[in-house]
Amino acid sequence: MTKYAAPLDDMRFALYDVLGADALFARLPGCETANRELIDAVLEEAGKFSEQVLAPLNQVGDQEGCHHDKATSSVTTPQGFKEAFKQYVEGGWMGLNAPESYGGQDLPETIGVAFKEMIAAANVAWGTYPLLSSGATEALTQHGEEWQRQAFMKPIVAGRWTGTMCLTEPHCGTDLGLLKTRAEPAPDGSYRISGTKIFISAGEHDLAENIVHLVLARLPDAPAGSRGISMFLVPKFKVARDGSMGARNGVACGSIEHKMGVKGSATCVMNFDGAEGYLIGQPHKGLMAMFTMMNAARLGVGLQGLGLIERAWQNSLAYARERLQMRALSGPKFPDKPADPIIVHPDVRRMLLTQKAFAEGGRAMALYAATLADIFLRSGDAGERERAEQQLSFLIPIIKGVLTEAAIECTYDALQIFGGHGYIAEWGMEQLARDARITTIYEGTTQIQALDLLGRKVMQLKGVGLEQFLGVIGAFCKEHAGQAALAEFIGPLAEHAQAWGALTQSIGQRAMQNAEEVGAAAVDYLFYSGYVTLAYFWARSVAAADASTRSAGFKQAKRATARFYFARILPRTQTHAAAIEAGAASLLDLPSELFG
């Protein structure tokens, strides 16, 4: 069985030394009480819950999975999941970031993001249940009517109910303009929802007394395509406007999927048969509410990738220190042992350092994005809020796309470090590798993240988020220019940032002649962007460590890992740049009928 220890020390370093989160909270309205003492107390308790309650259930959930009773359309979660959810609710965790007026604690999003990483590392399958609920509360906060927040959001925040997103249909995945689910107005102001949704995480389970589905559907007068989509609240048990719960609604789980990984998470086919629901927001404007949920979910899935990287890293490191095999090429490092531990071998160190670099750099990146969310939600300066939203919107596809792809790389490296034992179930590495695979798919595949980044955030929005973030990098490089201790990082970072801008312009110029250039470049552009972004956070981490009161060993470890990142991972940008500059021709020259 794999082990997990919440990386609280590195989280505190990222929060306080790198990002200055405590100083940020002190100036944001409503966050003033979130000082270091409070943050540390929350992180300590979150770590205990993750380590002691969730982590031991990770392998249980994988081995047992969920069970669907066709006769009752009910789903039973793995042994221990329901009790863990009960403890989660009793601990007040469900309302950690929710507004106080609806029963929450109203703590900064940044603290919630740190906890979500712990949950994902401890038990990514269990974590899907509260993750979807937080997306529902965000959609209700920003787009719901007050009575809807009172009737639906309060029970979700209290943990009595949970939420889902119901978007995908059997014939359409990402292309929501093709969806067919219908919504017919009823005389009492509600609607009757009919259709089938698939791949619905946490669509049915035994953890809570009611489940609130946020469903995309079409009204009778809806225009064609994505402009004709509306969003509806559709509960498992009917809910009156006063919040009282009534009879079973016309929504049922038709089946659950048998999956490669995250088997403790119920992935459901949901059938809506004239189910009673309520419109959220304006008619035909459902995509606005959907993107609120989707952005929250995409950040959450990026954190799943980060959590899996962290757990793979912790177990790989422990194994590499204990496993004896061969001698170091330069001679025995542990002559008193029959062989050296495999951590002495260069390629094992390469894999370990890759995991460490993605885990710690990815953590700083994700927490930075969370601070932008707090600024956007709470700052009294409209200009600051706008800039934070632009940067956050730009970074979300990078965080989701790159950290989940890195999770596949790092869990694969864990398998390699464990050797044959990595392939054996009881060691737990193969589960991490299987669980990681879905993170690159749900809430938008890597290709969708890439198109969102390059096609929408850069080309359609004229690169405003990129410009903002390049400004952040430029200001950092300018601040530390001339500092000999940081020269090995500042110079390459500044060069890559400049090249990032030039590469973007080159794609834009070619796309004016051939729109296919955007699709041809998108995935390589996503990785290029991610590697440069992580380089910034590694350079910033070294600067923060040098300026801190941390131990000499801590500072040395940060610098050495940053050195490895700049020497061994950042050069991957050259391959991606070459592929981008090659253009679309090699992808499009072969006619479809000649593929085979």
Q: Give the DSSP letter string of 213-272.
A: EEEEEB-TTPPSGGGG-EEEEEESEEE-TTS-EEEEPSEEEEEE---SS-TTS-EEEEEE
Q: Give the DSSP letter string of 109-170.
A: HHHHHHHHHHHHHHHHHHHHHHHHHHHHHHHHHHHS-HHHIIIIIHHHHHTSEEEEEE--BT
Burial of 197 (0-12, 13-18, 19+ CB in 10 A): buried
**Which tokens belong to 576?**
């991606």
276 membership: H or E segment, kind and range: strand 267-280
CA atoms within 13 A on the CB side of 359: 29
Q: Which amino acid, one-letter code, is at 107? A: L
CA distance 265 to 58: 11
The residues pairing with 417 across neighbouring beta strands, listed in sequence order, are none
DSSP, res 52? I
The residues pairing with 197 across neighbouring beta strands, listed in sequence order, are 270
CA distance 154 to 392: 27
Beta-strand (E) ranges in 10-135? 67-69, 74-76
Residue 97 CB contacts under 8 Å (≥ 6 apart), including other chains: 104, 105, 106, 107, 108, 109, 111, 112, 134
CA distance 231 to 183: 9
**Contact in structure between 210 and 249 (CB atoms under 8 Å):** no
Catalytic residue among 443, 467, 581, 593: 443
**Contact in structure between 518 and 509 (CB atoms under 8 Å):** no
Helix, strand, coil abundance in the chain, percent, nearest 5: 65, 10, 25
Kindly give the pairing relationship between strand 161-166 and strand 210-217.
parallel
443 given a catalytic annotation: yes
CA angle 434, 435, 438 (to 5 degrees): 100
The residues pairing with 239 across neighbouring beta strands, listed in sequence order, are 245
Kindly give the pairing relationship between strand 191-201 and strand 237-239.
unpaired
Residue reference for tokens 């330069």:
330
Nearest by Cα to 140 from 302, 284, 279 = 279
Distance linking the first and last C-alpha atoms of the chain: 44
Helices (H), 454-551: 464-480, 487-513, 516-547
273 membership: H or E segment, kind and range: strand 267-280
Q: Which long-range contacts (CB under 8 A, 24 or more apart) does 349-354 make?
A: 350/568, 351/316, 351/413, 351/414, 351/416, 351/417, 352/313, 352/316, 352/317, 352/320, 352/413, 352/417, 353/561, 353/564, 353/568, 354/409, 354/410, 354/413, 354/568, 354/569
Active site residues: 443
